[in-house]
Structure 1
Amino acid sequence: MDQVAESLARAIGARVKQERKGRGWTLDQLAAAAGVSRRMLVNVEQGGVNPSIGTLLRLSDALGVGLPALVEPPAARTAKITRRGEGAVLWTGDLGGKGVLVAGTGGPDVVELWDWTLAPGERHESEAHADGTRELLHVQDGTLTVAVDSESYEVATGDALSFYGDIAHAYINRHDEPARFSLTVFEPGVGAAHRTEIPNA
């Protein structure tokens, strides 16, 4: 990991640990609630791994906080500006693409704003998110193919697409030029499945 990625991994680890301890949960309890291995959770909390977006979503849902809450410190109820280059890079492609979380809200109804770039030939697979999740994307440059379940949509510069993100989906650049798009994700009731009971150790 480079220095920026290491710093982000440490911040995420500290926040996950803070949220877990604030609930009085053991590592085993959070691992069970999130459906991740204890070893992965230990590595995340120690800042020794840059977890996948899927892992972060499972942890944020189990903790009942939004993904943005895991990548930035709690803020007072004021406006928050994210300057160019300050977003959390949560995905990097083998060919140079990036998924950057630039802004978001707290739970239980979470809204995330992303800035994505896919290099020619890159593909990002996304697991199904929580029930009711909606995604809206707007292509700023290039052409993007979005696969949702068994359907495929080609979205060109200036086009927008909205779809349910609670089924598996993928973003694909099948063209010779980079594709850049903004993505807004709405996840209602984050953590609702974990609020009524503490998972067993």
Structure 2
Amino acid sequence: MDAGQVEEVSQTLAANLRAARGLRGWRLDDLAEASGVSRGMIHQIETARSNPSVATLTRLCSALDVPISQLVEMPTQLGSPARRADALVSRHGRSTAALLLADGRHELWEHTLHPGDAIHDAGHPAGTRELIHVTSGTLHVDVGGATFVVPALDALSMRGDRPHTYRNAGDQAIHYTLVVIYTGAHDARHPRITQ
């Protein structure tokens, strides 16, 4: 590991330790008391001026109830941004459904549904759930013989493994986001998009 990599690991550890301590609402003194590691040493680690021994890191992780891997997880492993321009877009009349992210177990969609338009889905594999958040307009969702009316700023959790339809019965465009959660097999109709 070169000096640049060592510095990157130190900075990552410092940021992750501060974040883990902050999530618990602990001050430096609180973590020192819970872990048996001196306040000064914790401060040195959190400012990337000292690299802890494995024993020290283990005591800090034990006190915070987090695995060591969480404290050394590099920023590139924490998330991956997606650009709207890279979305896969399908058209339904004048309306659009844009697949922003898909990792094989989850899909994130952004929909615009124009008045009079509808998007029909035959249903995903068994056990699939959908989470819908409407940002503007009022969305009608038909699933398994039931109809749900979801106004702007409200949300719906529903079975995605039944035939379902998203409808716009109003006179203005509806904008909503949709998360598909697969508990079993991935829906082969949609590709995996990972950044």
Q: TM-score, normalised by structure 1?
A: 0.52
How far apart in 2 are the matches of 1:162 and 1:143? 16
String of CA shifts for 1:87-135, please: whole Å, max 9, x gaps: 111x2022x21000101213xxx11000011011000111121110000
Listed as ranges, the gaps of 5+ residues in structure 2 are 1-75, 187-195
Q: If you compute each CA radius of gyration, which structure gives the higher value, 1 or 2? A: 2
Does residue 85 of structure 2 align to residue 85 of structure 1? Answer: yes
How far apart in 2 are the matches of 1:170 and 1:93? 12
Identity of aligned residues (%): 35
How far apart in 1 are the matches of 2:129 and 2:184? 12
User: Counterpart of 1:133?
Assistant: 128
Q: Which amino acid aligns with 1:140?
A: T
String of CA shifts for 1:56-108, please: whole Å, max 9, x gaps: xxxxxxxxxxxxxxxxxxxx96732112332111x2022x21000101213xx
String of CA shifts for 1:114-158, please: whole Å, max 9, x gaps: 001101100011112111000000000111100011110110100
8 Å contact 2:111–2:176 — kept in the other structure? yes
List aligned pairs for 1:172-187, cutoff 5 A: 172-187=167-182
Q: Which amino acid aligns with 1:82?
A: A
Does residue 157 of structure 2 align to residue 157 of structure 1? Answer: no
List aligned pairs for 1:1-201, cutoff 5 A: 79-89=79-89, 91-94=90-93, 96-106=94-104, 110-190=105-185
Q: Which amino acid aligns with 2:164?
A: H
How far apart in 2 are the matches of 1:169 and 1:178? 19
Matched pairs, number: 112
How far apart in 1 are the matches of 2:165 and 2:96? 14
How far apart in 2 are the matches of 1:148 and 1:84? 28
User: Counterpart of 1:61?
Assistant: none
Which structure ranks higher in relative contact order (CA pairs < 8 Å, sequence separation ≥ 6)? 1
8 Å contact 2:134–2:155 — kept in the other structure? yes
Q: Which amino acid aligns with 1:116?
A: H
Q: TM-score, normalised by structure 2?
A: 0.54
3-state SS, counterpart of residue 99 of structure 2: strand
3-state SS, counterpart of residue 85 of structure 1: helix
Listed as ranges, the gaps of 5+ residues in structure 1 are 1-75, 192-201
8 Å contact 2:128–2:184 — kept in the other structure? no
8 Å contact 2:97–2:109 — kept in the other structure? yes
String of CA shifts for 1:10-30, please: whole Å, max 9, x gaps: xxxxxxxxxxxxxxxxxxxxx
Q: Which amino acid aligns with 1:136?
A: L
